[in-house]
């Protein structure tokens, strides 16, 4: 049976609340995959993804980048919450690193096998985690945003990177996608970009339906990208 539990974790400034999902019929330690939310904050979508990961034998950890009880109810609120971290990428990195450390502490976690996937803003978060040089196995960015942080990292990127990209994404243009590939190559990263035609931003969100703004669900791209991400993590976590 798939079980979930709310998890509170803190630093000296903030308290966060995530949700851990696991299959209680398995007893051995297992890899953990963080699920990082979009610009609205953690909602049921992210918890469902964590549960999907649990069904595959992982610990799925839907993390919280904004703080306990801090969620956006309108696009304006979401923009403000996201903007604060976009303008302070050091704080963004601190928060996702805190979640990684919490993930390692779970009783059923194999701390040597940590991965992360993120959607939209969450895609930016997992890319920043990889850019930092942290020793996690890999990250998958679903329709993420690619602008690099204003932080200088001297070492190579150690995590494998999978970018799942809608070619018509207005928030990540073809030029920005090429720039990301060049950046990752210069940092000697193990990277792969899978681009989907006739696909915009938010292609994993069944409620996105604004083709005129480039924000719309694409069922085939959603299915294909998830399958590819699961193969990516399976390969990374296989001894």
Q: Cα separation of 232 and 154, whole Å?
A: 26
Q: Which two tokens stand for residue 209?
A: 């339906």
Q: Cα separation of 239 and 235, whole Å?
A: 9
Cα 13 versus chain centre, distance: 23
Q: Quote the pLDDT of residue 155.
A: 85
Q: For domain 2-237, say whether CATH 3.40.50.1820 is its number.
A: yes
Residues in the chain predicted with pLDDT less than 70, given as ranges, are 239
pTM: 0.97
pLDDT in tens, 124-167: 999 999 999 998 999 999 999 999 999 988 889 999 999 999 99
Q: Cα separation of 117 and 179, whole Å?
A: 21
Q: Quote the pLDDT of residue 154.
A: 81
Q: Taking the domains of the chain in order of start, what are their residue ranges? A: 2-237
Q: Rounded to 5 degrees, what are φ and ψ at 119?
A: -120, 130
Element holding 8 (H helix, E strand)? strand 2-10
Q: Quote the pLDDT of residue 74.
A: 94
Q: Which of 130, 168, 135 is nearest to 149 (CA)?
A: 130
């Amino acid at each position: 049976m798939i079980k979930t539990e709310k998890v509170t974790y803190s630093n000296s400034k903030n308290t966060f609340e995530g949700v851990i999902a696991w299959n209680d019929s398995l007893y051995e330690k297992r890899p953990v995959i963080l699920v990082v939310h979009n610009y609205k904050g953690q909602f049921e979508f992210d918890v469902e993804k964590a549960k999907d990961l649990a069904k595959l034998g992982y610990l799925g950890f839907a993390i919280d980048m904004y703080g306990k009880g801090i969620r956006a109810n309108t696009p304006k609120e979401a923009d403000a919450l996201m903007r604060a971290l976009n303008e302070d990428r050091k704080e963004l990195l601190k928060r996702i690193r805190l979640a990684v450390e919490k993930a390692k502490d779970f009783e059923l976690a194999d701390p040597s096998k940590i991965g992360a996937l993120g959607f939209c803003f969450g895609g930016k978060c997992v890319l920043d985690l990889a850019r930092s040089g942290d020793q996690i196995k890999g990250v998958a960015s679903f329709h993420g945003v690619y602008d690099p942080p204003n932080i200088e990292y001297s070492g190579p990127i150690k995590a494998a990177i999978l970018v799942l990209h809608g070619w018509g994404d207005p928030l990540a243009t073809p030029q920005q996608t090429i720039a990301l590939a060049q950046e990752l190559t210069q940092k000697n990263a193990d990277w792969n970009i899978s681009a989907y035609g006739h696909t915009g931003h938010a292609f994993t969100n069944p409620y996105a339906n604004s083709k005129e703004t480039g924000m719309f669900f694409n069922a085939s791209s959603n299915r294909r990208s998830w399958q590819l991400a699961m193969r990516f993590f399976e390969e990374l976590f296989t001894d």
